Amino acid sequence: MALLEKGAQAPYFKGLNQNEELISSDDFKGKKLILYFYPKDNTPGCTAESCNLSDNYDYWLKQGYEVVGVSPDSVASHKKFADKYGFQFNLISDPEHEILEAYGAWGLKKLYGKEYMGVLRTTYVIDENGVVVELFSKVKTKDHTNQISTALDNK
């Protein structure tokens, strides 16, 4: 499935977070959301991206946003990752790639000439009506908060 476009209604999602709690898009009705998809817990780029969003979590809350990360990792992996870095936001486990596919964040990748299916690092900014207002398919992992806030400021 292709990436969602600006103006699209964000698909429904549900999954278990790092605390084995069921989290769904219904939990964010009437709220703004930064929904980011990343390949794997505790890898350099994913750690940089998640830590950048975590380090700026208070900023996002003050701007009226909640932050949610999604990857194929297990609940246990998410728990270790969140505990290690002190993440205060939800990390949803999507081992069957249902959420990833619904958001166009699962697809063909190439590495060293080999093709395989994997997570396409993507971030969506969703408004309080569940509409995609911004998306990032070229994520600056170490400076993602600035990347998102700059785009939102230029709207």
**Residue 46 and residue 79 in contact, taking contact as beta carbons nearer than 8 Å:** no
Whether 46 is a known active-site residue: answer: yes
The residue type at 96: E
* Neighbouring residues of 149: CB distance < 8 A, sequence distance ≥ 6: 59, 63
Of 10, 23, 46, 70, catalytic: 46
Q: Which long-range contacts (CB under 8 A, 24 or more apart) does 92-95 make?
A: 92/13, 92/15, 92/16, 92/17, 92/23, 92/68, 93/15, 93/16, 93/17, 93/18, 94/15, 94/70
Tell me the catalytic residues: 46
